[in-house]
């Protein structure tokens, strides 16, 4: 694989991770405004599973569980 191709794949992986973080933050905020909405809770659970998945480990070298803890702390601190 060329260096350019590897770079493009890495950019895609980064975009997937960043989108998951943004989606998680949005769902978390929706849940704070309207707690216990089934669809929002499913979305949160799905994103949490992604952060703890083997797929997440393929996309990056971050610790998904730590990222999730950090996101939750950040969200609590901003409210």
pLDDT tens digits, one per residue of 2-38: 999 999 999 999 999 999 999 999 999 999 999 999 9
Q: Please report which confidence band the pLDDT of residue 1 belongs to, taking 50, 70 and 90 as the band edges.
A: confident
**Where does the pLDDT of residue 79 fall: very low under 50, low under 70, confident under 90, or very high at 90 and above?**
low
Yes or no: say if 44 and 30 are a contact pair by the CB < 8 Å rule.
no
Closest listed residue to residue 46, CA positions, set 29, 63, 68, 14: 68
40 contacts: CB under 8 Å, gap ≥ 6 = 27, 30, 31, 34
**Which has more confidence, 20 or 1?**
20
Mean pLDDT, residues 54-73 taken together:
96
């Amino acid at each position: 694989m060329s260096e350019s191709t590897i770079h493009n794949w890495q950019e895609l992986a980064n975009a997937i991770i960043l989108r998951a973080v943004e989606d998680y933050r949005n769902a978390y905020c929706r849940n704070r405004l309207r707690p216990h909405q089934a669809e929002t809770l499913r979305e949160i659970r799905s994103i949490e599973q992604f952060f703890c998945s083997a797929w997440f480990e393929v996309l990056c070298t971050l610790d998904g569980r730590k990222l999730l803890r950090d996101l939750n702390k950040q969200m609590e601190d901003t409210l």
